[in-house]
Amino acid sequence: MTENEPVLKLENLQKYFTDESLKDRILGRDVSPVRAVDEVTIDLYENESIGVIGESGCGKTTLLRTLMGLYKPTGGEMYYNGEPTSEFSKAEWQKYRRNVQIIFQDPFNSLDPKFTVRDTLKEPLQVHGLDNHEERMHRVLEEVQLNPPEQYIDRYPKQLSGGEKQRVSIARALILEPEVILADEPVSMLDVSTQASILTLLSNLMEEKGLSMFYISHDLSTVSYICDEINVMYLGRVVERSPTKKVLREPKHPYSQALIDAIPVPDPHYNRERTKIEGAALDPVDLGEGCRFRDRCPERMDICDIKPRFVDVDGESIASCHLYYDHESADPAADIDERRLASGSTTSGVEATGKAGDN
Amino acid sequence: MLNRIPILSRVSEGFSNAGNHYAIRNFRNALGKMLDSRMTMVYASFLVFVLLLGLVGPWIAPYDATDRIRGEDGELLRGEPPSLDHPLGTTEVGYDVFSRMLIGARPTAISGLLGGTIIITIGSLVGITAGYVGGRTENVLMRMTDLVYGVPLIPTAIVLIAFFGVGFIQSILVIAFVLWRGSARVLRSQVLQIKEREFILASKATGTSTPRIIMKHIFPNVATMAVMFFAIGVGYTIIIQAGLSFLGVVDPFVPSWGVMMRNAYASGQVGNYWWWSIPPGLMIAFTVVSTFMFGRSYERISGGGDDEGAMVQAG
Amino acid sequence: MSEQPILELDDVTIQYRTAGGMLTAVSDASFTIGKGEYFGLVGESGCGKSTIAKTLIGALDDNGQISSGEIRYKGEPIQDYTEKQFNQELRWKEISMIPQGSMNNLDPIEKISNQAIEIAQVHTDMTRAEALERFEELFEVVGIQKSRIHDYPHQFSGGMEQRAIIALALFLNPSLIIADEPTTALDVIMQDQVFKYLDEIREEGGASMVLITHDISLVFESCDDIAIMHSGQIAETGDIETIYDDSRHPYAFMLKGAFPDHRYPDRELEIIDGYPPENMGEVNYCTFVDRCPYAVDECREMAPELEQWEGTESDHLVACFRSEDAYEEHQRSMPESDSESTEVHGDD
Cα dihedral B243, B245, B247, B253, rounded to 10, equals -170
The gap from C-alpha A287 to its chain's centroid, in whole angstroms, comes to 23
Kindly give the residue spans of alpha helices, DSSP state H, lying in chain B. 22-34, 38-60, 97-133, 135-149, 153-164, 168-195, 198-205, 210-213, 219-247, 257-266, 274-304
Residue pair C248/C330 in contact by the 8 Å Cβ criterion = no
* pLDDT attached to residue C72: 94
* Integer CA distances (angstroms), A260 to A51, B36, B119, in order: 15, 55, 57
Tell me: the pLDDT tens digits for C200-229?
A: 888 887 789 999 999 999 999 999 999 999
Q: What is the pLDDT at residue A31?
A: 63
User: What is each CA distance from B54 to A325, B176, B240, B264, C36, in whole angstroms?
Assistant: 87, 21, 19, 22, 74
Over range B15-40, report the average pLDDT. 64
At residue B28 the predicted structure's pLDDT band, cuts being 50, 70 and 90, is confident
Q: What is the pLDDT of residue A239?
A: 93
| pLDDT on residue C213 | 93
Q: Name every chain B residue with its beta carbon within 8 A of the beta carbon of C44.
A: 314-315
> Residue B31: how many CB atoms within 10 A of its CB?
15
Query: What is the arithmetic mean of pLDDT over B174-194?
Result: 89
- Amino acid (1-letter code) at residue A65: R
Output the pLDDT for position A354: 37
Tell whether B202 is within 8 A of chain A (Cβ): yes
* Predicted local confidence at residue B314, as pLDDT: 22
Contact A138, A126 (CB under 8 A): no
Residue with the bigger pLDDT between C74 and B36: it is: C74
The beta-carbon neighbor of C265 closest among A192, A245, A259 is A245
Q: State whether the Cα torsion C314-C320-C326-C331 is positive or negative.
A: negative
Say if CB B305 and CB A158 are below 8 A apart. yes
Residue range A60-81, pLDDT digits in tens: 888 998 998 888 999 899 999 9
Chains adjacent to A (≥3 CB pairs closer than 8 angstroms):
B, C
pLDDT of A348 > 60? The answer is: no
Alpha-carbon span A279 to C286, nearest angstrom: 46
Which residues contact residue B63 at a Cβ distance below 8 angstroms, ignoring those fewer than 6 apart?
A: B69, B95, B96, B99
Confidence band of C315 (pLDDT split at 50, 70, 90) = confident
Q: What is the mean pLDDT of residues B217-245?
A: 87
The closest alpha carbon to C199, from C217, C218, C212, belongs to C218
Quickly list DSSP for C113-145: HHHHHHHHHHHS---HHHHHHHHHHHHHHTT--
Give chain C's mean pLDDT.
86
Q: What is the largest CA-CA distance in chain B?
A: 84
Asked if C264 reaches chain A (Cβ–Cβ under 8 Å), the answer is no
B11 contact residues in A (CB cutoff 8 A): 125-126, 129
In this structure, what are the phi and psi dihedrals at residue A13, rounded to the nearest 5 degrees? Answer: -65, 140
B203/A123 touch (CB, cutoff 8 Å), yes or no: yes
Q: Does B314 touch chain C (CB under 8 A)?
A: yes
State how far the Cα of A297 lies from the Cα of B203, in Å rounded to an integer.
41
C-alpha span between A194 and A203 (Å, rounded): 15
Alpha-carbon distance of B113 to B231, in angstroms, equals 9
Q: Is A258 helix (H, G, I), strand (E, B) or coil?
A: helix
How far is it, in rounded angstroms, from Cα C293 to Cα C289? 8
Question: Between B45 and B264, whose confidence is greater?
Answer: B45
- What would the mean pLDDT of C78-88 be, rounded to a whole number? 88
Amino acid at A229: E
Helix (H, G, I), strand (E, B) or coil at A207: helix
What is the pLDDT confidence band of residue A84, given thresholds at 50, 70 and 90?
very high
Residues of chain B with C-beta less than 8 angstroms from the C-beta of A107: 314
- Supply the DSSP symbol for C90: I
Q: Tell me the mean pLDDT in the region C101-128.
A: 82
Buried b (16+ CB within 10 A) or exposed e, A276-291: ebeebbeebeebeebb
Percent with pLDDT over 70 in chain C: 94
Element (H, E) at A8: strand A8-17
Residue C26's region, left for phi above 0, alpha for psi from -120 to 50, else beta, is beta
* Euclidean distance between CA atoms A53 and A239, whole angstroms: 10
Average confidence (pLDDT) over C186-203: 85
User: In chain C, which residues have their Cβ closer than 8 Å to the Cβ of A251?
Assistant: 347
Mutual angle of helices B153-164 and B168-195, in 10-degree steps: 130
Separation CA C166–CA C197 (nearest Å): 9
H or E stretch at A311:
strand A310-312
Is C23 near chain A, with CB under 8 Å?
Answer: no
> Which chain C residues have any C-beta within 8 angstroms of a chain B C-beta?
44-46, 274-276, 278
Neighbours of chain B (3+ CB pairs under 8 A): A, C
Which of the given ranges, A21-25, A258-262, B39-43, has the highest pLDDT on average? A258-262
In chain C, the DSSP E strands lie at 7-18, 21-33, 38-42, 64-73, 76-77, 95-98, 176-180, 208-213, 225-230, 233-239, 307-308, 316-318
In this predicted structure, what is the pLDDT of residue A346? 40
Q: Which helix (H) or strand (E) holds A243?
A: strand A237-243
Looking at chain A, which residue has its C-alpha nearest residue C344?
A: A249
C26 forms beta bridges with C14
Cα separation, C160 vs A280, whole angstroms: 8
Q: Which residue has the higher pLDDT, A348 or C319?
A: C319
Q: Which residues of chain B from 116 to 175 reach within 8 Å of chain C, CB to CB?
A: none
Tell me the sheet residues that pair with A40.
A13
Domains identified in chain B and CATH numbers: 7-314 (1.10.3720.10)
> Residue A211 has what pLDDT?
92
Q: Judging by beta carbons within 10 Å of its beta carbon (0-12, 13-18, 19+), is residue B48 exposed, middle or buried?
A: exposed
Residue B93's pLDDT band, with cuts at 50, 70 and 90, is: confident
Q: What are the backbone angles phi and psi of residue C242, rounded to the nearest 5°?
A: -60, -45
What would the pLDDT profile of A102-138 be if each residue is shown by its tens digit?
Answer: 998 888 888 998 899 999 999 999 999 998 899 999 9
Q: How many CB atoms lie within 10 A of CB C293?
A: 12
Task: Answer yes or no: are the C-beta atoms of C346 and A249 closer than 8 Å.
Answer: yes
Mean pLDDT of chain B: 77
pLDDT of residue A341: 38
Q: Is B315 on the interface with C (CB under 8 A)?
A: yes
Mark C138-155 as b/e (b = at least 16 C-beta within 10 Å).
bbebbbbeeeebebebee
**pLDDT of residue C348 exceeding 50:** no
Q: Which residue has the higher pLDDT, C119 or B15?
A: C119
pLDDT band at C69 (very low <50, low <70, confident <90, very high): very high
pLDDT value, residue B295: 80
**Helix, strand or coil for residue C316?**
strand
CA angle C136, C138, C142 (to 5 degrees): 120
pLDDT at C347 > cutoff 60: no
Distance to chain A for C195, nearest Cα, Å:
8
What was the pLDDT predicted at B158? 84
Question: Which CB contacts under 8 angstroms, 24+ apart, belong to C19-26?
Answer: C20/C280, C21/C280, C21/C281, C22/C67, C22/C280, C22/C281, C23/C278, C23/C279, C23/C280, C24/C67, C24/C232, C24/C279, C24/C280, C24/C281, C24/C282, C24/C283, C25/C51, C25/C64, C25/C232, C25/C279, C26/C51, C26/C52, C26/C55, C26/C232
Of A69, A115, A194, the CB nearest to B315: A194
Confidence at residue B15, expressed as pLDDT on a 0 to 100 scale: 38
The per-residue pLDDT for range B108-123, each reduced to its tens digit, is 888 889 999 999 999 9
Question: Residue A242: its pLDDT value, please?
Answer: 93
Res C177 pLDDT > 50:
yes
pLDDT at A123: 93
Residue C74 has pLDDT above 70, yes or no: yes
- Given a contact cutoff of 8 angstroms between Cβ atoms, the answer to whether A236 and A255 are in contact is no
- Comparing B61-65, C188-192, C242-246, the range with the smallest average pLDDT is B61-65
Considering only CB atoms, A262 lies closest to which of C160, C188, C241, namely: C188
How confident is the model at residue B36, as a pLDDT?
Answer: 67
Bridge partner list, C32: C8
CB contact under 8 A, A265 and C215: no
Residue A120 has phi, psi (to 5 degrees) of: -60, -45
| C-alpha to C-alpha distance for C217 and C230, rounded to whole angstroms | 17
Q: Which residue has the higher pLDDT, B207 or B312?
A: B207
What pLDDT, on the 0 to 100 scale, is given for residue C102?
A: 56
The alpha-helical segments, DSSP class H, found in C142-247 are 158-170, 188-204, 216-222, 240-246
The yes-or-no verdict on residue A89 having pLDDT over 50 is: yes
Peptide bond connecting A148 to the previous residue in cis, omega within 30 degrees of 0: yes
| A278–chain C nearest CA distance, Å | 8
The SS3 of residue C18 is: strand
pLDDT at residue C3 is higher than 80: no
C236 forms beta bridges with C228, C318
Task: Work out the pLDDT band at A92, boundaries 50, 70, 90.
Answer: very high
